[in-house]
C-alpha cells in the first residue's frame, strides 16, 4: 500500500509513520519528491486490516491500497519507468531488448553456440540458468557455481552481457 503524506507533514510525522509501518511487520520504502512524500508499505497481506489504521496518524493525507502482486514495480508505487542496467543495456527504457539463451547452462560448447547464434540474430543479452532448483533431489540441479563461471567466460568472449536466475 502507499501512504501519501500531506505536503505540510513534518520530518517527525514522516518518521513516526515509517516506525509504525515497521512495527506491524511491514517494510517501509520512503520516497521524497518535490511535491509529495510517499511511503510504500510492503508486507504480508494477512496484516492488511492492521496496516490500514496508519491513515489516522498525523501528517497522512491518503492511504492507497495496491492490489497488484508486483507492488514495487506498479505505477501506483512509482510513476516513472523502472530502468535496469545490465552492462551497457538498459531494460525498461525506450529500446526493445532481446534476451536469449538456454534454459539451463549445461556445457561450455552449448553455451558458446547459443551465445553466437543469439548475438548473430540480434540479441542484446545472453541468459542462461546456472541454478535449477527442482522438487526431486535426483533431478538435474544445474551447474551452479561452475555455470556462473561458464557464463562469465562466454560474456568475455562474445561481449554479450549476461543474466541468470
pLDDT tens-digit map of 92-120: 888 999 999 999 999 999 999 999 999 99
**Residue 156: inside a domain, yes or no?**
yes
Please say which residue of 47, 73, 99 terminates a domain: 73
Q: Could you tell me if residue 133 is inside a domain?
A: yes
Is 78 within the bounds of a domain? no
Judge whether 144 lies within some domain: yes
Assigned domain for 154 exists = yes
Please say whether the beta carbons of 5 and 36 come within 8 A: yes
| Residues 63 and 126 occupy one common structural domain | no
Q: For the residues 62-66, what does the mean pLDDT come to? A: 81
Q: By residue range, what is the domain housing residue 143?
A: 84-163
pLDDT for position 115: 96
In a domain, 106, yes or no: yes
Q: Residues 104, 51: one domain? A: no
What's this model's pTM, rounded to 2 decimal places?
Answer: 0.56
CB 128 within 8 A of CB 104: yes
Same domain, yes or no: 6 and 69: yes
Q: How many domains does the chain have?
A: 2
Within a domain: 50: yes
Whether 94 and 46 share a structural domain: no
Q: Cell 555455470 appears where?
A: 147
10 Å Cβ neighbour count for 155?
A: 16
pLDDT at 47: 63
Based on the fold, state whether residues 69 and 88 are members of the same structural domain. Answer: no
The Cα 80–Cα 84 span in angstroms is 13
One-character DSSP codes across 53-114? GGGGSTTEEEEE---SS-GGGSTTT--SPP-EEETTEEESSSS---EE--SB---HHHHHHH
Amino acid at each position: 500500500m502507499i501512504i501519501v503524506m500531506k505536503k505540510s507533514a513534518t520530518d517527525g510525522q514522516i518518521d513516526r509513520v515509517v516506525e509504525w509501518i515497521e512495527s506491524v511487520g511491514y517494510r517501509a520504502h520512503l520516497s521524497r519528491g518535490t511535491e509529495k512524500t510517499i511511503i510504500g508499505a510492503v508486507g504480508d497481506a494477512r496484516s492488511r486490516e492492521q496496516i490500514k489504521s496508519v491513515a489516522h496518524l498525523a501528517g497522512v493525507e491518503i492511504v492507497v491500497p495496491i492490489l497488484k502482486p508486483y507492488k514495487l514495480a506498479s505505477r501506483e508505487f512509482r510513476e516513472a519507468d523502472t530502468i535496469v542496467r545490465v552492462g551497457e543495456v538498459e531494460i525498461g527504457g525506450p529500446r526493445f531488448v532481446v534476451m536469449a539463451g538456454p534454459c539451463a547452462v549445461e556445457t561450455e560448447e552449448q553455451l558458446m553456440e547459443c551465445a553466437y547464434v543469439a548475438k548473430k540474430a540480434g540479441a542484446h543479452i545472453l541468459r542462461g540458468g546456472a541454478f535449477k532448483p527442482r522438487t526431486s533431489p535426483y533431478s538435474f540441479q544445474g551447474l551452479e557455481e561452475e555455470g556462473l563461471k561458464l557464463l562469465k567466460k562466454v560474456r568475455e568472449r562474445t561481449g554479450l552481457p549476461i543474466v541468470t536466475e
